Amino acid sequence: MVELIDITFEYNENKQIFLNTSFKATNGRLHIILGRSGSGKTTFLDIAFGFLKPKKGYVFFDGEEVREPISSKAIYLVSDPERYFFEKTVLEEASYPLIFKGFNRDEAKAITKEYLLRSGLPEEYLFRDPLTLSKGEKRRVALVSSVLLGSQAIFLDEPMSGLDRNGKEVVLNWLRSILNQGKVVLITSQKLDDFFELKPLVYIINNSKLVEVDLSSALSAYRVFKESGILPPERITIGAILENKGLKVDLFTSDKEFSEQVARVLVDYAY
């Protein structure tokens, strides 16, 4: 439903950000765009969402060409959502999608309140100025707004940055539930480590291209990371070393299961 065809993009002529790049998203899967700082991750989301127009190529959403921001069809959570907070209280801020959809203010606030409390925000926070919240709390408010808008596609720019373990767990659970609803999820990240359990489809921006990483082989994934100048996640390095010895491990598990698996494989190998 999100498709980029043969995109070329540059902000100015001396630096090409994308060159003849194509991408197609799959429903119910998590797509992760990795890349070094300045490689074009945010630009990629901006193009897919219709904030930026490619110099060449086409962007489609649900079979229709994207010519302007698809704000009524998809949610785009920028890396610093506070840029977009404009209401005086958290509750008013998070209710705007429902008001936008035609609910009256009181109904919208009642429903939104439920969601905010369920997201783990204490009740007294609902009447605070959203700008006074911590980074993780702000992101929770933005996530609730995005859930309420009920869109089919979700774009998140570096959703884990600046979050502690707890905050990351909230984001992971939320991602899991929207993936189960069959939505398309596109995120950018500097690191892959937090996302293995969600069986992501992984892409790396390298040399103005988007390279898909085949995670069915840790060894081949390791090579793609190396070629792109990005430090491979520890799990892929371990998987590659084992694969080199003819041993296979499943990369898509929790940290705990992964360690147990490695231990098992090594014990079997040793004896």
Ligand X SMILES: Nc1ncnc2c1ncn2[C@@H]1O[C@H](COP(=O)(O)OP(=O)(O)O)[C@@H](O)[C@H]1O
Distance of CA 67 to the CA centre of its chain: 23
Query: Should residue 35 be labelled a site residue for ligand X when binding is judged by CB under 6 A?
Result: yes
CA distances from 84 to 3, 20, 45, 90, 139 (A): 26, 32, 16, 13, 11
Is-contact 154 184, C-beta < 8 A? Answer: yes
The entry of Mg ion, ligand X, none that residue 11 binds, CB within 5 to 8 Å by partner kind? ligand X
CA distance 46 to 26: 19
CA distance 19 to 222: 24
CA distance 149 to 63: 21
Query: Should residue 130 be labelled a site residue for ligand X when binding is judged by CB under 6 A?
Result: no
Shortest Å, Cβ 84 to ligand X: 17
Q: Which stretch binds Mg ion (CB under 5 A): 2-10, 36-44, 95-103, 113-121?
A: 36-44
| Amino acid at site 181 | Q
The residue (of 186 and 249) whose beta carbon lies closer to ligand X is 186
Is-contact 55 17, C-beta < 8 A? Answer: no
The residue (of 95 and 206) whose beta carbon lies closer to ligand X is 206
Query: Should residue 159 be labelled a site residue for ligand X when binding is judged by CB under 6 A?
Result: no
Is-contact 56 7, C-beta < 8 A? Answer: yes
Instruction: Give the tokens for residue 20.
Output: 């003849």
Shortest Å, Cβ 11 to ligand X: 3
Q: How many residues does the chain have?
A: 271
The residue (of 16 and 217) whose beta carbon lies closer to ligand X is 16
Q: Which stretch binds ligand X (CB under 6 A): 33-41, 60-68, 117-125, 218-226?
A: 33-41
138-144-150 Cα angle (round to 5): 145
Hey, is 127 helix, strand or coil?
helix
Query: Should residue 42 be labelled a site residue for Mg ion when binding is judged by CB under 5 A?
Result: yes
Shortest Å, Cβ 157 to ligand X: 7
Query: Should residue 38 be labelled a site residue for ligand X when binding is judged by CB under 6 A?
Result: yes
Q: Which stretch binds Mg ion (CB under 5 A): 8-16, 42-50, 143-151, 207-215?
A: 42-50
The residue (of 21 and 42) whose beta carbon lies closer to ligand X is 42
Shortest Å, Cβ 18 to ligand X: 10
The residue (of 57 and 239) whose beta carbon lies closer to ligand X is 57
Is-contact 221 241, C-beta < 8 A? Answer: no
**Residues at the contact surface with ligand X, assessed by CB under 6 A:** 11, 17, 35, 37-43
**Residues at the contact surface with Mg ion, assessed by CB under 5 A:** 41-42
